[in-house]
Amino acid sequence: MSVSVPPSPAKSTTVAMLSLHTSPLDRPGTGDAGGMNVYLKSISQALSGLGVRVAVYTRASSAGQVQRSPVQLSPGVQVHCLPAGPLEPIAKEAIGPAEVAQFAQGVASATPATLVHSHYWLSGLAGEQVAKAWGVQHVQTLHTVAALKNQNLALGDRPEGPRRLVAEAQLVQGADRVVAVSPAEASAIVHDLQVPPTQVTVVTPGVDNTVFCPGPPGHLVGLPAAIKRPQGYALMAGRIQPIKGQDLAIKAIAAIAPELRPALLISGAPSPAHLDYASSLRLLAAALGVGDDVVFLSAVTTERLAGLMRGALLTLMPSHSETYGLVALESAACGTPVVAYDSTGLRFSVTDQVSGILVGSRDPAAWAGAITALATNAGYRAALSQGGIEFGRRHTWDRAGAALWQAYQELLGKAPVAPLSGQLAG
């Protein structure tokens, strides 16, 4: 007589990942795609490696996406593109209650999952409806806390409005579990949004060490001669928007003596709401006399980005605020030191004097000094390079996936709750 073996908890679990405004299929650095897209794609694949089935739901931006849906992202991970508003790309700022309601209805009509995990506040508005309709628990990840962002706003940038501020507070207070991607985000959720620490789990991002790893530099054919100069180049990668601080990077390069000045390669596309800022950067470079030293490049593939990182002297991250700062971890894993602003999540994606340098000022002269110190001291650069490689090896997506699976098990009552104590930023 055969004996039936009950399925493992992982293999009997299905997770609905909601990402209304952006798809894991989008290239990071374009539109509203960035670190969250990488996080969602990579964490879903890590969960599938544990036997968890993952269905990712996102808004369709074309009729073709609806027709081709679902897309098999990897074994065990499917991406469903649902109509919600116009079948065309729209900025996240243009997504309103009607789009949220249509998206929620579309997800709720699908096969129910074991739990719902919403990414970003817009997804959460839909996710809490879906979880209620299915009678399952709701997990919320904000990825960016509006209150924290407003506290670190770039000059001239628009603060997040009351609709989002109120919605985020209600979402995290009502969720069955909140997953933060850094201790800085967890601290803001606990202290600013009044969520008990027992309801918050920190799952920091990982890095794909098969792509972001030491090796030969990227192929520079077709790129302007400026980045092939003897002084080398500094890299800045990500969406072009005021909070990322591309203007400070340009000012820092301009503050370096011409004979020591590396080129600055800015890779990424402007977010739809920040086209004016992108245009202002070229004018700024010209006004400071470094128009020929600053090279703009559209968003590139993951493999191309890793090559550009390996070829760079250093990676710059002058963001006013980052939930974590995944680019810093990716750069470190390539063996390229990072110069980053000493704030919010960057304090956890960069270890000062180990994988890079944290600059506590937004004075361009301070940044110029840090860049010059690395660019002109090969020994210093090599030490931070080795420290970064080791730092990257400790942060894998498998580790992140296991931590998230542990949080799901706690929520489902299949594992003891791990305390958040000691994980919060001061």
- Region for residue 54 given its phi and psi (left: phi exceeds 0; alpha: psi -120 to 50; beta: otherwise): beta
User: What is the pLDDT at residue 8?
Assistant: 61
Q: Which of 138, 203, 142, 145 is nearest to 174 (CA)?
A: 138
| pLDDT score at 317 | 98
pLDDT at 5 over 70: no
pLDDT digits (tens, 9 = 90+) for 103-157: 999 999 999 999 999 999 999 999 999 999 999 999 999 998 998 888 888 877 8
Task: Kindly report the length of the chain.
Answer: 426
Counts of helices then strands in the chain (DSSP H, E): 15, 14
Give the pLDDT confidence score for residue 1 in this predicted structure.
Answer: 38
Q: How far is CA 224 from each of CA 30, 236, 294, rounded to the nearest angstrom? A: 21, 16, 10
In 36-86, the DSSP E strands lie at 53-59, 71-74, 77-82
Question: What pLDDT score was predicted for residue 382?
Answer: 97
Residue 420 has pLDDT above 70, yes or no: no
**Position with higher pLDDT, 6 vs 275:** 275
Distance from the Cα of residue 190 to its chain's centroid: 21
Q: Rounded mean pLDDT of 343-360?
A: 96
Count CB atoms within 10 A of the CB of residue 160.
18
Task: Report the run of H or E that residue 18 belongs to, with start and end.
Answer: strand 14-19
Q: What is the pLDDT of residue 421?
A: 40
Instruction: Please name the fold of domain 225-393.
Output: Rossmann fold (3.40.50)
Which of 27-36, 50-59, 279-288 comes out lowest in average pLDDT? 27-36
Between 261 and 69, the more confident residue is 261
**For residue 279, is pLDDT > 60?**
yes
Q: Is the pTM of this model over 0.95?
A: no
As assigned by CATH, the class of the 14-206+397-411 domain is alpha beta
Check residue 25 and give its pLDDT.
Answer: 82
Mean predicted confidence (pLDDT) in 305-317: 95
Residues of the chain with CATH 3.40.50.2000: 14-206+397-411, 225-393
- Whole-angstrom distance, CA of residue 195 vs CA of residue 173: 6
Q: Give per-residue pLDDT as tens, 374-401.
A: 999 999 999 999 999 999 999 999 999 9
Q: By mean pLDDT, which of 7-16, 36-45, 85-94, 248-257 is the weakest? A: 7-16
Q: Best-predicted range by mean pLDDT among 54-68, 214-228, 363-377? A: 363-377
Instruction: Quickly count: other Cβ atoms within 10 Å of residue 223's Cβ.
Output: 17
The average confidence (pLDDT) of the chain is: 91
Average pLDDT of span 3-13: 58
Tokens 């959720």 sit on residue: 189
Helix (H, G, I), strand (E, B) or coil at 246: helix
